[in-house]
């Protein structure tokens, strides 16, 4: 019974992550990989100390919500509109090419048409968590590369929501109608959040700004209110959290709030990466396992190559194009969600879902190593590349 308690599970996660994190740092390896390794080691596929990952996965989702909220806190509405304008065509073009690569792989694996289309959808996106976790905060919020990356990832997130809604919804509905409804819901959410900030949050934060605990509590509640509101509207928690952060970004206390929330975000992101490793199931045929790993390794340089040329085509400098391409070269946590949604709807076989899962996590690991060894990050063991 004690093994199923949430206190035991959280304690085991933090202790194992700390131990492996220490060993990885001594070995000068990225600490994110230690968190994934901890999940593989004590999760269902390892020593099975964590038998069920459902609760852990839900808790870990909180870190992604906070991550998107903090990004919104550091952006102004005018900037985000300009970002969407400059990155939308590039995002749609690259996503189409990545989808084609998924179809080619599925055809080579002799999967059925439904499975091939799911692979195509899953390959379209890059990981919001990996990309934003590995870029220094000052770069993310105050430099061109951070702005471009944010714009691309947010558009990809909207596309991912559209794909998941299409998979789990009424297949008779027109894709265009689904897209229009999605955009209208997003606009409604946006307007309500900004009205709420003007008439509720700003007066409260001004009146009680000397009580730091209240500022922390009120803004966290604001984040979760709109995250839940977005989910109830059929969007995603992450999109709602981003809108909440964006709506409150003009408040004087925005930057202070962001600093206070960082430790909380880091705690839940550790659990997120642990859950990624714990969900990895290697119990498939060796040929399929090797194919999945090979595809996961192939994804990273393939995406980097396509992104680099797309950025250069859009007018970015060669240096910026190379760095952004590497930082966006992995698959996405949305790929895992697409696989789960398709599996639950009977559109994806269990073997195909496991291949997609293994390939995605492999791309996480390869991409993380590439970024940490070559570019500034918040977790580098090299003092020259370690930037906050």
User: Do 177 and 149 share a structural domain?
Assistant: yes
Asked if residue 2 is part of any domain, the answer here is yes
User: Do 248 and 214 share a structural domain?
Assistant: yes
Domain boundary among 17, 33, 51: 51
Q: Mind listing the pLDDT tens digit for each residue in 118-155? A: 888 888 999 888 888 888 876 665 577 887 888 888 88
User: Do 106 and 1 share a structural domain?
Assistant: no
Asked if residue 260 is part of any domain, the answer here is yes
Asked if residue 234 is part of any domain, the answer here is yes
Asked if residue 144 is part of any domain, the answer here is yes
Q: Mind listing the pLDDT tens digit for each residue in 69-105? A: 887 887 766 666 777 777 888 999 999 999 998 888 8
User: Do 21 and 46 share a structural domain?
Assistant: yes
* pLDDT tens, the chain, 388 aa long: 455 678 888 889 999 999 999 998 888 788 888 998 999 888 887 888 887 777 787 888 888 888 888 878 877 666 667 777 778 889 999 999 999 988 888 888 888 888 888 888 888 999 888 888 888 876 665 577 887 888 888 888 878 877 877 776 554 556 667 777 777 888 888 899 989 988 888 888 888 877 778 888 888 899 999 999 988 887 778 888 888 988 887 777 777 777 778 888 888 888 888 888 887 777 778 888 888 899 999 999 999 999 999 999 988 888 999 999 999 999 988 888 788 778 877 888 888 888 888 899 899 999 998 998 888 887 766 667 666 6
Q: How far apart are CA 325 and CA 333, in angstroms?
A: 18
User: Do 101 and 43 share a structural domain?
Assistant: no
Asked if residue 380 is part of any domain, the answer here is no
Domain boundary among 51, 69, 88: 51
User: Do 133 and 16 share a structural domain?
Assistant: no
Asked if residue 387 is part of any domain, the answer here is no
**Contact yes or no for 87/57 (Cβ under 8 A):** no
Task: Look at the block and give the residue holding tokens 């076989």.
Answer: 349
> Quick one: DSSP state of residue 43?
S
CA geometry: angle 90, 361, 156, nearest 5 deg: 25
Whole-Å CA distances, 18 to 5, 31, 132: 20, 10, 22
Asked if residue 138 is part of any domain, the answer here is yes
User: Do 350 and 218 share a structural domain?
Assistant: yes
Residue among 47, 172, 126 at smallest CA distance from 327: 126
- What is the model's pLDDT at position 139? 64
What CATH number corresponds to the domain at position 199?
1.20.1530.20
Other CB atoms closer than 10 Å to residue 40's CB: what's the count?
19
**Contact yes or no for 165/101 (Cβ under 8 A):** no
Residue among 158, 164, 166 at smallest CA distance from 186: 158
3-state secondary structure of 386: strand
- Spatial neighbors of 339 by CB under 8 A, at least 6 apart, are 118, 122, 348, 353, 356, 357, 360
Number of domain units in the chain: 2
User: Do 79 and 13 share a structural domain?
Assistant: no
Range of the domain at 2: 1-51
Asked if residue 384 is part of any domain, the answer here is no
User: Do 152 and 118 share a structural domain?
Assistant: yes
Encode burial over 214-223: b for 16+ CB neighbours within 10 A, e otherwise: ebbebbbebb
Q: What is the residue-wise DSSP string for 317-377? A: -HHHHHHHHHHT-S--HHHHHHHHHHHHTTSS-HHHHHHHHHHHHHHHHHHHHHHHHHS-B
User: Do 334 and 195 share a structural domain?
Assistant: yes
User: Do 144 and 8 share a structural domain?
Assistant: no
User: Do 234 and 162 share a structural domain?
Assistant: yes
């Amino acid at each position: 019974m004690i093994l199923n308690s949430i206190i035991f599970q959280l304690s085991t996660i933090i202790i194992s992550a700390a131990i492996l994190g220490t060993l990885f740092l001594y070995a000068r390896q990225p600490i994110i990989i230690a968190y994934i390794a901890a999940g593989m080691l004590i999760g269902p596929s390892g020593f099975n100390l964590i038998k069920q990952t459902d609760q852990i996965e839900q808790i870990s989702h909180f870190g992604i919500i906070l991550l998107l909220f903090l990004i919104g806190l550091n952006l102004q509405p005018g900037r985000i509109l300009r970002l969407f304008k400059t990155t939308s065509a590039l995002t749609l073009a690259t996503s189409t090419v990545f989808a084609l690569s998924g179809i080619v792989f599925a055809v080579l694996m002799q999967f059925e048409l439904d499975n091939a289309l799911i692979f195509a959808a899953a390959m379209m996106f890059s990981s919001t968590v990996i990309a934003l976790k590995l870029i220094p905060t000052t770069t993310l919020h105050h430099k061109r590369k951070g702005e471009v990356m944010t714009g691309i990832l947010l558009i990809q997130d909207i596309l991912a929501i559209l794909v998941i809604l299409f998979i789990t919804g009424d297949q008779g509905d027109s894709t265009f109608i689904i897209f229009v409804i999605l955009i209208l819901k997003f606009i409604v959410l946006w307007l309500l959040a900004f009205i709420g900030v003007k008439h509720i949050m700003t007066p409260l934060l001004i009146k009680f700004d000397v009580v730091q605990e209240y500022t922390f509590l009120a803004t966290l509640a604001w984040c979760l209110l709109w995250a839940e509101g977005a989910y109830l509207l059929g969007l995603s928690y992450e999109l709602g959290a981003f809108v909440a952060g964006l709506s409150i970004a003009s408040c004087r206390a925005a930057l202070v709030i962001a600093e206070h929330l960082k430790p909380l975000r880091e705690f839940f992101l550790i659990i997120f990466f642990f859950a990624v490793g714990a969900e990895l199931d290697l119990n498939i045929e060796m040929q399929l396992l090797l194919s999945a790993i090979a595809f996961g390794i192939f994804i990273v340089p393939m995406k980097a190559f396509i992104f680099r040329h797309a950025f250069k085509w859009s007018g970015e400098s060669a240096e910026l194009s190379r760095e952004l391409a590497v930082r966006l070269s992995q698959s996405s946590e949305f790929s895992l969600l697409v696989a789960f949604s398709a599996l639950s709807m009977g559109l994806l076989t269990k073997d195909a879902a496991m291949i997609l899962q293994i390939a995605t996590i492999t791309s996480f690991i390869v991409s993380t190593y590439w970024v940490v060894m070559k570019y500034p990050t918040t977790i580098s063991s090299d003092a020259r590349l370690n930037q906050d």
